Chains A and B, each alone.
Chain A
Amino acid sequence: QVQLQESGPGLVKPSETLSLTCTVSGDSLSPYHWNWIRQPPGKGLEWVGYISYRGSTNYNPSLKSRVTISVDTSKNQFSLKLTSVTAEDTAVYYCAREVGSRGFDFWGQGTLVTVSS
């Protein structure tokens, strides 16, 4: 059974960089897309971006200038960096696996990141 686990700081100061890692167990990173999706408290889901097992990326245009997603196949991990954060970036961040057009079939439990001084 595939399992995903997010890790990283739960509190980030405004203007700093949010950094999260997703560790995948039970399967290799190939041949899937690995996504970050976020959900502000009490609100809906927002796709942040993905990285393929080969390292190609695609980002939400509204976040593109601030987002970087990278992959470490040796550790079966992929990571998210979001720069210049504001309170609007406060959200539960989920990592999720995607199989082509078949939706996001496996999700991490999510991690709450709060942006506050």
Chain B
Amino acid sequence: QSALTQPASVSGSPGQSITISCTGTSSDVGGYNFVSWYQQYPGKAPKLKIYEVSNRPSGVSDRFSGSKSGNTASLTISGLQAEDEADYYCSSYISSSTYVVFGGGTKLTVL
């Protein structure tokens, strides 16, 4: 199965807001409200930031928010901080057989 499409990189200044898109099809992102977002620092395991499109796990800052429109999901980070500089991956449930597909990842640079 093809990976979901994310921009290779995004950047923003401290205090600004940025949005990372995750584009799939009606068979994955558009078909289910089961999109998750992960933050990954170099050499570290990914960390869950958003699940079921827009829900935050306990302990995740409310500066992180998620949404979906049609076949595209989005992660918005408001009030950018230096510590937000990392790679971000989206994932979506695709079907009971294929199950889960990830996006190619987006590198966020805080200027």
Contact = CB atoms under 8 A, between A and B. Distances in A.
Interface residues of B, number: 28
Interface string A67-106: 0000000000000000000000000001000000111110
A61 B89 contact: no
A10 B90 CA distance: 28
A66 to B, nearest CB: 16
B31 to A, nearest CB: 13
User: Which bucket holds chain A's interface residue count?
Assistant: 10 to 19
A46 B102 contact: yes
Interface in B14-41: 34, 36, 38
Interface of B: 1, 3, 34, 36, 38, 44-48, 50-52, 55, 57, 89, 91, 93, 96-105
